[in-house]
Amino acid sequence: MNCIKIILLLCISSCFGQQTVISSVDAGGATTSVNNVRLVYSIGENTNREVSNGFHISEGFISARFKITLNPVVFLQGPLVNPETADLMNDALRVNNYIPTTSPYADNATVNASVFSVTGNNAIVDWVWVELRAENDTTKIIASQSAFVQRDGDVVGLDGISSLLLNAPPGNHYVVIKHRNHLGVMSSNPIALSRDTTTVVNFTDSSFSTFGANAQIQFPSTTTALWAGNVNGDTVIQYSGTNPDVPSILAEVLNDSGNFLNFPTYVINGYNVHDVNMDGKTQYTGTEPDSPLILQNVLAHPGNFLNFSTYQIQEQLPEN
Ligand SMILES: [Ca+2]
Ligand SMILES: [Ca+2]
Ligand SMILES: [Ca+2]
């Protein structure tokens, strides 16, 4: 019956050339996928359906939204210091219920606290920020959003499990991962991304090529991780000098409202950008201080030939 009505409509259309037929044939429609393009269509429906993925055709309007599926893998150096389990980042922030349900990044994404109940390899370590950049302009951000990184490095969506779904057309894009107190990183090449195939982009593999030089810290194994220690919100890690990070930790500790006696050994518990190793404690000096890792990174950096404590580890992104 529906087919007859549709054929009738097509006949009318073809007989009279282009015209608008204000007529509801029937409620119907279907979905089809060709390569990366998903087409959702309805015929004669007098409703305005919103479809989040692929094409949507309704009442003469044609709109297209594209998404791509992505599984970045990244390690943060901080929670890899003294790992409780080899090759897994520590998840002390999660264990102590310190990870906020609102993202610390620009989109202020929110989640239900239940995403932090998962333990083991897929437990959430922290929020990260993911960007896709244009193939022909590495400073042009075409999509960006908050995400989570798991203990094993998987960067996942806001349910803490699924691959990332980003609002971007299928194609070749640069992938950027940023973290609130680590230096960000970008793939050195645009990567072919699509909706139907989840593309793994493994920043933890030292053979994976990143933009710039020494964009990540190289471990004795073939593992790489984002440099830890950028606690003052700029684009460098510096121990001492013009824009050092370590005094920022000291100031944070001394100015804490609970530090009545201004001890430099005072420990601030909680989610804090100055907590370099992300153990849930911010300490300048003492039993578990956060500042030595910054000095260690600066001195160990392959570009710091003369071992200057004033050396700046520059974030390797095109805009810096
Ligand atoms: Ca995982
Ligand atoms: Ca800094
Ligand atoms: Ca700490």
- Tens place of pLDDT per residue across the chain (320 aa): 444 444 434 433 343 344 433 333 334 455 556 555 665 555 444 434 444 444 444 444 433 458 999 999 999 999 999 999 999 999 999 999 999 999 999 999 999 999 999 999 999 999 999 999 999 999 999 999 999 999 999 999 999 999 999 999 999 999 999 999 999 999 999 999 999 999 999 999 999 999 999 999 999 888 999 999 999 999 999 999 999 999 999 999 999 999 999 999 999 999 999 999 999 999 999 999 999 999 999 999 999 999 999 999 999 999 99
Q: Is 305 contained in some domain?
A: yes
CB atoms within 5 A of ion ligand 1 belong to 122, 150, 152, 154
Q: What is the CATH number of the domain that holds 148?
A: 2.60.40.1120
| Residue 291 structural domain | 236-314
CB-count exposure of residue 233 (10 Å: 0-12, 13-18, 19+): exposed
Ligand that lies nearest to the alpha carbon of residue 238, given by its number in the listed order: 2
Q: Are residues 177 and 120 in the same domain?
A: yes
Which of 14, 49, 65 corresponds to the end of one domain?
Answer: 65
48-64 tens-digit pLDDT: 444 444 444 444 443 34
74 CA from centroid of ligand 3 (Å): 20
Residue 146 has a pLDDT of 98
Can you give the three-state secondary structure of the chain, one letter per residue?
CHHHHHHHHHHHHHHCCCCCCCCCCCCCEEEEEECCEEEEEECCCCCCCCCCCEEEEECCEEEEECCEEEEEECCECHHHCCCCCCCCCCCHHHHCCCCCCECCCCCCCECCHHHHHCCHHHCEEEEEEEEEEECCEEEEEEEEEEEEEECCCEEECCCCCCCEEECCCCEEEEEEEEECCEEEEEECCCEEECCCCCEEEECCECCCCECCCCCEEECCCCEEEECECCCCCCCEEECCCCCCCHHHHHHHHHCCCCCCCCCCCCEEECCCCCCCCCCCEEECCCCCCCCHHHHHHHHHCCCCCCCCCCCEEECCCCCC
- In this prediction, residue 47 carries a pLDDT of 39
What is the per-residue burial (b if ≥16 Cβ within 10 Å, else e) of 275-285?
bbbbbbbbbbb
User: How far is the centre of ligand 3, averaged over its atoms, from the C-alpha of 89 (Å)?
Assistant: 14
pLDDT reported for residue 66: 83
Is there a domain that residue 231 lies in? no
Residues 160 and 296 in one domain: no
Residue 248 lies in a domain: yes
Ligand nearest to the CA of 153: 1
Q: What is the pLDDT of residue 186?
A: 98
Query: Is residue 186, in this structure, part of any structural domain at all?
Result: yes
- Domains held by the chain: number: 3
Question: In terms of domains, do 208 and 279 share one?
Answer: no
Cα 229 to middle of ligand 3, angstroms: 11
Give the C-alpha separation, 246 to 221, whole Å. 28
Note whether 14 and 74 are same-domain residues.
Answer: no
Place of tokens 């003469």: 60
Nearest ligand (C-alpha, residue 235): 2
Do residues 103 and 182 both lie within one domain?
A: yes
Rg of the Cα trace of the chain? Answer: 25
Q: Is residue 319 part of a domain?
A: no
Would 197 be classed as within a structural domain? yes
Are 141 and 275 in the same domain?
no
- State the distance from the centre of ligand 2 to the C-alpha of 100, rounded, in angstroms: 23
320 in any annotated domain: no
Residues 153 and 262 in one domain: no
The reported pLDDT for the residue numbered 41 is 53
Q: Residue 312 Cα, ligand 2 centroid: separation in angstroms?
A: 9
Domain check: are 95 and 56 in the same one? no
Among 15, 46, 65, the domain boundary falls at 65
**Does residue 203 form part of some domain?**
yes
Q: Identify the pLDDT of residue 56.
A: 40
**Hey, what are 266's tokens?**
């005072």
Give the residue from 263, 317, 262, 313 showing the smallest Cα distance to 285.
Answer: 263
Looking at the CA of 297, which ligand is closest? 2
Given this model, what pLDDT does residue 40 score? Answer: 58
Instruction: Give 78 Cα–ligand 3 centroid separation in angstroms.
Output: 9
The pLDDT value given to residue 36: 58
**pLDDT at residue 29, as a whole number:** 54
**Distance from the CA of 313 to the center of ligand 2, in angstroms?**
9
Residues 122 and 222 both lie in one domain: yes
In the prediction, which pLDDT does 31 show?
59
**End position of a domain, from candidates 206, 226, 246:** 226
Q: Which pLDDT tens digit goes with each residue over 260-306?
A: 999 999 999 999 999 999 999 999 999 999 999 999 999 999 999 99
Count Cα neighbours of 216 within 13 Å in the Cβ-side half-sphere. 32
The alpha carbon of 207 and the centre of ligand 2 are apart by a number of angstroms equal to 27
Residues 99 and 202 in one domain: yes
Sheet containing strand 199-202, strands side by side: 164-166, 68-73, 199-202
Residues 270, 150, single domain; the answer is: no
Same domain, 153 and 251: no
